[in-house]
């Protein structure tokens, strides 16, 4: 059986996705296709490295050493053609943590922060928690795909924006931003002196033939305007190991970021298992990831085509990467609350509600396809028969 075909029972594994169904959906009877982790085992070499470390049995304070930094550097060079220097790295338990720290380091209460909606809900929270203002550059939904409205983007920057949280690739709309789009966003951010906080946690998860371009790799000048957050957690299904990193080429900005981390009690380190897993994943995980992304692309086409044929009310938005599908359910004509209830009660699948990603997305749902084909087929069948029987 192929590595990605094995159905692994994740219940009773302290899994947010599988062990919180009653809390999240008020039903234990739904197939969870929500929170963004996958139902796959991490690459074999990662598990072996972790088991080897566990056999050692001592979990004392652990060094972020050059072997780990080299693994990160080599990965980014090989996958993203981005040459980063070891001294540009800071370490963090998570990307959301890093965004909180960066917002505090570089902006003041009352500052305007730009986001492109609909977007990953913690972006709103990162801004609101620190009493900054949310400024939206809504993405344009046209012919089943999303685009940036650059006129609006510039208008918003003109009004005075301190920082822009870029989601690249974009969760939930599945866009892998093209070079021209990134260049234009960067040009405008330089023109209006807007700091780019680039969340590239989905950067490795692009479909075959697509290319993720780290915005900071476009030029030295853009790099110096950018703080990039990356992690192996989405890529290799390691979210529970709490390990991520930040890349800042500008010395002053990196110092300010590290001071902000320090003020919050973080000391530029990683937990032992996160450290081990990150190094093994970046060293050996390439072939595993290639296989994963071929499968995700085929899953995407399978879901899109199945709905087109059997439940055309569910329109899967064009996607270029991630394992998250964004589904336009407007043809069902349901309110946000009724849509959510429909999928839980009638289809018995646990999806993320679009409304959580932006008020413009109340008739959308997000579906996680990071699971074996058999699980996905079960979910798709449940959704089709619920739509047919309504």
- Which is nearer to ligand PLP, 207 or 342 (by Cβ)? 207
- Decide if residue 358 touches ligand PLP (CB under 6 A): no
Does position 233 interact with ligand PLP (CB under 6 A)? The reply is: yes
Name the pairing type of β-strands 352-353 and 364-368: antiparallel
How many angstroms separate the Cα of 119 from the Cα of each of 75, 114, 137, 213?
Answer: 27, 11, 11, 19
The residue whose Cβ lies closest to ligand PLP is: 94
CB 261 within 8 A of CB 270: no
**How many residues line the site for ligand PLP (CB under 6 A)?**
13
d(CA 352, CA 234): 17
Omega prior to 169 cis, within 30 of 0? yes
Q: Examine residue 167 and tell whether it contacts ligand PLP (CB under 6 A).
A: yes
Among residues 167, 125, 127, 161, the alpha carbon closest in space to that of 146 is found at: 167
> DSSP per residue over 107-134, as a string?
--TT-EEEE-SS--THHHHHHHHTTPEE
* Rounded to 5°, angle at Cα 207 from 203 and 210: 75
CB of 94 to ligand PLP, least distance (A): 3
Which segment (91-99, 270-278, 359-367, 379-387) binds ligand PLP by CB under 6 A?
91-99
Least distance from C-beta 243 to ligand PLP, angstroms? 8
The yes or no reply on residue 185 touching ligand PLP (CB under 6 A) is no
| CB of 174 vs ligand PLP, minimal distance in Å | 12
Give least dist CB 162 to ligand PLP, A: 20
Nearer to ligand PLP, 104 or 233 (CB): 233
Contact status: 332 vs ligand PLP (CB under 6 A): no
Instruction: Supply the minimum distance, in Å, between the C-beta of residue 271 and ligand PLP.
Output: 13
Question: Which two tokens mark 104?
Answer: 């505090």
DSSP letters for 364-387: EEEEE--S-HHHHHHHHHHHHHHH
We find the least distance from the C-beta atom of residue 167 to ligand PLP, in angstroms, to be: 5
Among 39, 199, 258, 320, indicate the residue that binds ligand PLP (CB under 6 A). Answer: 199
Closest CB to ligand PLP among 171 and 217? 171
Of 5-13, 80-88, 92-100, 271-279, the window that binds ligand PLP (rule: CB under 6 A) is 92-100
Spatial CB neighbours of 332, under 8 Å, sequence gap ≥ 6 = 313, 314, 339, 342, 363, 387, 390
Site for ligand PLP in 25-54 (CB under 6 A): 36
Q: State which of residues 32, 43, 94, 358 lies at the interface with ligand PLP (CB under 6 A).
A: 94
357 vs 142: CA distance, rounded Å? 18
95 scored as a contact of ligand PLP (CB under 6 A): yes
22, 212, 328, 334, 335 from 341: Cα distances, Å:
14, 36, 16, 10, 10
Segment near ligand PLP (CB under 6 A); pick from 89-97, 263-271, 338-346, 368-376: 89-97
DSSP classification of residue 342: I
Contact 274, 241 (CB under 8 A): yes
Q: Work out which of 90, 117, 171, 319 binds ligand PLP, going by CB under 6 A.
A: 171
Among 201, 257, 273, 369, binds ligand PLP (CB under 6 A): 201
Peptide bond into 118 cis (omega under 30): yes
Q: Which parts of this chain interact with ligand PLP (CB under 6 A)?
A: 36, 94-96, 120, 167, 171, 199, 201, 231, 233, 239, 244
């Amino acid at each position: 059986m192929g590595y990605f075909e094995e159905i692994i029972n994740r219940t009773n594994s302290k899994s947010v996705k599988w062990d919180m169904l009653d809390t999240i959906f008020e039903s234990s009877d739904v197939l969870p296709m929500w929170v963004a982790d996958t139902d796959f085992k991490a690459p074999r070499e990662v598990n072996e490295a972790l088991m080897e470390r566990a056999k050692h049995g001592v979990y004392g304070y652990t060094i972020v050493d050059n072997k780990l930094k080299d693994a990160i550097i080599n990965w980014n060079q090989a996958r993203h053609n981005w040459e980063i220097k070891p001294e540009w790295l800071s370490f963090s338990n998570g990307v959301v943590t890093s965004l909180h720290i960066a917002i505090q380091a570089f902006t003041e209460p009352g500052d305007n922060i730009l986001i492109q909606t609909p977007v990953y809900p913690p972006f709103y929270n990162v801004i609101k928690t620190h009493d900054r203002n949310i400024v939206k550059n809504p993405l344009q939904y046209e012919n089943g795909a999303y685009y940036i409205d650059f006129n609006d983007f510039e208008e918003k920057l003109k009004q005075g924006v301190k920082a822009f949280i870029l989601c690249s690739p974009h969760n939930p709309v599945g866009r892998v931003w093209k070079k021209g789009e990134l260049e234009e966003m960067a040009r405008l951010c330089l023109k209006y002196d807007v700091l780019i906080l680039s969340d590239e946690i989905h950067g490795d998860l692009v479909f075959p033939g697509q290319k993720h371009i780290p915005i900071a790799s476009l030029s030295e000048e853009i790099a110096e305007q950018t703080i990039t957050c990356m992690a192996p957690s989405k890529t290799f299904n390691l979210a529970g190991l709490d390990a991520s990193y930040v890349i800042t080429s500008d010395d002053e900005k990196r110092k300010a970021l590290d001071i902000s981390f320090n003020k919050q009690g973080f000391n530029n380190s990683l937990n032992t298992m996160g450290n081990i897993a990150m190094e093994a994943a970046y060293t050996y995980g390439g072939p595993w990831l290639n296989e994963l992304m071929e499968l995700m692309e085929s899953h995407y086409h399978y879901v899109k085509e199945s709905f087109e044929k059997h439940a055309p009310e569910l329109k899967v938005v064009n996607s270029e990467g991630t394992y998250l599908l964004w589904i336009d359910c407007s043809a069902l004509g349901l309110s946000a609350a009724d849509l959510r209830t429909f999928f839980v009660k009638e289809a018995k699948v646990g999806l993320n509600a679009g409304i959580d990603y932006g008020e413009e997305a109340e008739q959308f749902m997000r579906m996680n396809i990071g699971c074996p084909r058999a699980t996905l087929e079960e979910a798709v069948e449940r959704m089709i028969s619920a739509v047919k029987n309504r």
